[in-house]
Amino acid sequence: MRNIKRFFWTYLCVLTGLWLVAELMVWSSPTNFFAWRSVLMQYSGVLGIGVMSAAMVLAVRPVVFEPYLGGLDKMYRLHKWLGISGLVISIAHWLLAQGTKWAVGWGWLQRPQRGPRAELLDAPIQQFFLNQRGLAESIGEWAFYAAVLLMVLALVKRFPYRYFFKTHHLLAVAYLALVWHSVVLLKFDYWTGVLGPLMAVLMGAGTVAALMVLLRRVAVGRQVVGEVAAIRRHESLNVVAVDILCKGRWAGHESGQFAFVTLHEDEGPHPYTISSAWTGDGHITFIIKALGDYTRTLSERVHVGDVVKLEGPYGRFTFQGVQKRQIWVGAGIGITPFISRMKALAAQSDGKTIDLFHPTAVYDEHAIGMMARDAEAAGVHLHVLWSQRDGQLNAARLTELVPGWRDADIWFCGPAPFGQSLKKDLGALGLPESRFHQELFQMR
């Protein structure tokens, strides 16, 4: 989280700083409301298309940024922040434009008289942009309405995922329209200053990303077709384990990573943590809990022999750290990455002392038995906390059961509020923030 917060605020500050430099180079002190409005329109336009461009680039899942931003789960959180920022900035930009027109129409403001614009015969490119202003304004306004609607739908959790998957890519169309709007209406002098090259790179990269989205070329090099090889249902836990045999070449994965899995084309890809260690035989297992409309019907819809598409692997929840002791907390279905890691450690130990806490509301003897065998084979100390019998896990209990917790890396996967509470309490006891690793497994 720290890395994406730094990037977010640094990015906004860089855009603001370069805009200030560019604006001061052509500064003429605004003398009335309309002059100030023009300045603010340019600033909000630069910020708006800037954050939208970054969000569009992140939408194509560029793994090159994973080491710097903490994994694709963190990148999607940054994508969401950028999207919300773009929404707020765009609304402010629109209000500056439309609100002023309303105020003039209501007689609250007097628009300055303007004469006809002179033809720029010695600057044909600038003249071309001037000729396109009316069209660019109209295109930008309608693209704004479409973008607002699509972004609001993306933020509404009740909007079904299968519809979100089908509609969200239409934002790429709105983005391309807003790029044209920005290119034409951005102050022409900016392009020859310090701001112009950055805006050209951002909008160029965003345009390429938008075309990849529209042409369905996102991460095509990381996709492989597979087949459902086996299905195991655990009714008491409300989960289904799906074994997939890759028919193409899977690049391999580390324990704790996830993949996008398309089991049904009408539903689209869903992210699931990989629960099996990679052995090179093409088999991958996913343990999927019934949490939503789709996953609740999955056990009846998926069958052995079904064709599956995998994309990945992604994520940096890979148990890497310099500390010789690790504490794992896998709450509920959050146990999945730890199962994968235990299977990998059973084949090759990393020499670390590990305690695994598994708080659960449902005690399934068969599942707990398999977990205990995996833990024994991996040399992991397992602590199963059945809430009905053992109560809740908290920082005080964890530190009591693991006296050497101050020298450990903490790896947490489970409900986000639980993780945030545990991180806060352990931090208050002296655990450095950098040693608490939490996956943000929310893709919208």
Is there a domain that residue 443 lies in?
A: no
CB half-sphere exposure, 162, CA atoms < 13 A? 10
Final residue of a structural domain among 214, 248, 273: 214
Burial of 121 (0-12, 13-18, 19+ CB in 10 A): exposed
User: What distance in Å separates the CA atoms of residue 444 and residue 436, rounded to the nearest whole number?
Assistant: 23
CB half-sphere exposure, 366, CA atoms < 13 A? 6
Is there a domain that residue 444 lies in?
A: no
For 112, list phi and psi in degrees, rounded to 5: -60, 145
Number of domains in the chain: 3
User: What distance in Å separates the CA atoms of residue 239 and residue 236, rounded to the nearest whole number?
Assistant: 8
Q: What is the DSSP letter of 170?
A: T
Helix (H) or strand (E) holding 411: strand 408-413
> Regarding beta strands 408-413 and 436-438, do their DSSP bridges make them parallel or antiparallel, or are they unpaired?
parallel
Residues 180 and 62 in one domain: yes
User: What distance in Å separates the CA atoms of residue 411 and residue 394, rounded to the nearest whole number?
Assistant: 14
Task: List all residues 6 or more positions away from 222 whose beta carbon is below 8 Å from its beta carbon.
Answer: 63, 251, 311, 312
Is there a domain that residue 258 lies in?
A: yes
Q: What is the DSSP letter of 274?
A: B
Residues 28 and 130 in one domain: yes
Contact assessment for residue 261 and residue 308, using Cβ atoms and an 8 Å cutoff? yes
Is there a domain that residue 141 lies in?
A: yes
At 199 the three-state DSSP class reads: helix
Residues 89 and 121 in one domain: yes
pLDDT 10s digits, 391-420: 999 999 999 999 999 999 999 999 989 999
Residues 304 and 358 in one domain: no
* Measured CA angle at 316 (ends 314, 322), to 5 deg: 155
CB half-sphere exposure, 395, CA atoms < 13 A? 17
Is there a domain that residue 319 lies in?
A: no
Helix (H) or strand (E) holding 357: strand 353-360
Beta bridge partners of 148: none
Is there a domain that residue 320 lies in?
A: no
Is there a domain that residue 303 lies in?
A: yes
User: pTM to 2 decimals?
Assistant: 0.90
CATH number, domain at 307? 2.40.30.10
Final residue of a structural domain among 214, 232, 248: 214
Residues 253 and 370 in one domain: no
User: What distance in Å separates the CA atoms of residue 145 and residue 133, rounded to the nearest whole number?
Assistant: 19
Residues 308 and 330 in one domain: no
Residues 333 and 301 in one domain: no
* Measured CA angle at 29 (ends 23, 34), to 5 deg: 90
The gap from C-alpha 29 to its chain's centroid, in whole angstroms, comes to 41
Residues 279 and 378 in one domain: no
CATH number, domain at 90? 1.20.120
Q: Which residue is it, tokens 């600057």?
A: 123
CATH number, domain at 424? 3.40.50.80
Is there a domain that residue 332 lies in?
A: yes
Contact assessment for residue 177 and residue 142, using Cβ atoms and an 8 Å cutoff? yes
Radius of gyration (C-alpha) of the chain in whole angstroms: 26
Q: Which residue is it, tokens 């908290």?
A: 394
Final residue of a structural domain among 178, 193, 214: 214
Residues 278 and 350 in one domain: no
Residues 343 and 408 in one domain: yes
Ordered per-residue pLDDT tens for the chain, 444 residues: 788 999 999 999 999 999 999 988 777 777 788 888 889 999 999 999 999 999 999 999 999 999 999 999 999 999 999 999 999 999 999 999 998 888 888 988 877 776 566 566 566 777 777 778 889 999 999 999 999 999 999 888 888 888 888 888 999 999 999 999 999 999 988 998 899 999 999 999 999 999 999 999 999 999 999 999 999 988 878 889 999 999 988 989 999 999 999 999 888 899 999 999 998 999 999 999 887 778 888 888 999 999 999 999 999 999 998 899 999 999 988 999 999 999 999 999 999 999 999 999 888 898 999 999 999 999 999 999 998 999 999 999 999 999 999 999 999 999 989 999 999 999 999 999 999 999 876 666
Select from 353, 409, 345, 344 the least CA-distant residue to 381: 353
Residues 168 and 19 in one domain: yes
User: What distance in Å separates the CA atoms of residue 124 and residue 126, rounded to the nearest whole number?
Assistant: 6
The domain in which residue 264 lies consists of: 221-314
Residues 195 and 237 in one domain: no
Contact assessment for residue 431 and residue 406, using Cβ atoms and an 8 Å cutoff? yes
User: What distance in Å separates the CA atoms of residue 265 and residue 93, rounded to the nearest whole number?
Assistant: 38
